[in-house]
Each structure stands twice: as structure tokens, then as C-alpha cells.
Amino acid sequence: MPVIQIAPSILACDFARLGEQVVATAEAGASLIHVDVMDGRFVPNISIGLPIVQSLRPLADQYNLTLDVHLMIVEPERYLEAFATAGADILTVHVETCPHLHRTIQQIKELGVKAGVALNPATSPTLLEEILPEVDLVVVMSVNPGFGGQKYIPASTNKIRRLRQMLHVTRSAALLEVDGGVKVENAAEIGRAGADILVAGSALFHGDIAANFKSLSLSANNQ
């Protein structure tokens, strides 16, 4: 079976040590870096933007990392080209912010970047049914987006199962990513439900990064 990946979310890192901590995750075994971009409008917080993606690109090249950029912003289509130019490998938009989602996904792919779509906890997976064959990544928000360190919403597990079945039925090759409240204690449950990638922030960056990464990976893969 494919190995379930752990994607470090730099939202939880010490930004005074950003490069150092990203390198630590790479040396621990990470192959993706999750970058949360928040605008203070779609979500009640402002985080990071283009300069951080630009600064991470050389490290990503050096350590063979994928920059997984999650756009929690309104009108994301206005910024797709800029983030692609900055160095994003994956651009994920929210179904809630894209009235013309198919067109937005096409825009991302035309930029030579992989396309992802995310949905909030209260959003039904059925809204993604028509777009699943077109995307490379589906992101289940298992907390209400905007802040790190929140508790996993238990109903997310059933949503993951439903989406895994939908991906199978539509024959989509998209990976299924879960973002929010991932801990050692629930990583196995999330993995068994059908996730391919688990985004981890505070559970990874608070303490020994290498030890935390190993514990999360072992739990997610039920070892």
C-alpha cells in the first residue's frame, strides 16, 4: 500500500527559524511543505504570502520538496499566476470562493502547476463531484480554517471516507489531503479513512521535529 505522507504546515513553525525548520522536516523525511495563505477576508486571520513562497523555492529545489500552497483567500484567480511564478508546485483553492471552479482549475493547470480544491467542514463533498476527475489534490478541512492548533472535528472522518469512495467512483487520481487537528492520537484513524496526506502543524513543530515526524508517520501508517 502507498505510504501516507506527512506534510509539515509552516504556519506553526518559528518564523525566525523558517529555513532551518523546513530543512529539519526534509531531513526527517518530509517531501511536501504546506503553505497556508490567508487574507483576513475568507478566513479571520492574515498569514503569509508571495515572499515566503519565493524564499522557500531554493530550499525546495535543494531538498526535492513540493511546495503545497493552500490559498484561503477570496478571488484566488487574481493571484494564481503570481504564486506559480513565486514557485508553488500545487495551488489549492476553496470551492467556497470559486463560483467558476472549473475555469479556475483550468487556469492553474495552464500555469504548469498541479491543481487542488479544498472544502470547509460544513461544505458537502457532493459539491466536488463534477470536478474530481480534473484535480490533482482534494483537501478536507478538519477544522474551521484560519488558525492553527485547533481540535480535529470528529465528523471529518466520515467525510474522508465519502470522498475516498467518490474518488474511486469517478476514477480520479487525485490525492486526498486532510488539514487540521492532526495528532499522533488520531493519525491512524485518518489514514484508515482514506487519506493520502496528513497536514501537521503544531503536532510537528512543537518539540523535536524529527521525533514528532517519525511518530506521526508511524501512526498514520498504522505501524
Q: What are residue 155's phi and psi, to 5 degrees?
A: -65, -15
pLDDT of the residue at 1: 55
For the stretch 30-39, what's the b/e string if a residue is b when 16 or more beta carbons lie within 10 angstroms of its beta carbon? bbbbbbbbbb
How many domains is the chain built from?
1
pLDDT of the residue at 223: 57
CATH number of the CATH domain containing 65: 3.20.20.70
Determine what percent of the chain is predicted with pLDDT higher than 90.
90
Given a cut of 60, is residue 107 above it in pLDDT?
A: yes
Which SS3 state, helix, strand or coil, does residue 13 take?
A: coil
Mean pLDDT of 117-139: 96
pLDDT digits 0-9 by tens, 178-190: 998 999 999 999 9
Report pTM: 0.95
DSSP label at 207? S
Active site residues: 36, 179
pLDDT digits 0-9 by tens, 10-25: 999 999 999 999 999 9
Task: Domain of residue 74: give its range.
Answer: 5-220
Tell the residue number behind the cell numbers 487542488, with chain if given.
116
Residues 6+ apart with CB under 8 A from 110: none
Long-range contacts of 74-77 (CB under 8 A, 24+ apart): 74/39, 74/41, 74/42, 76/104, 77/103, 77/104, 77/107
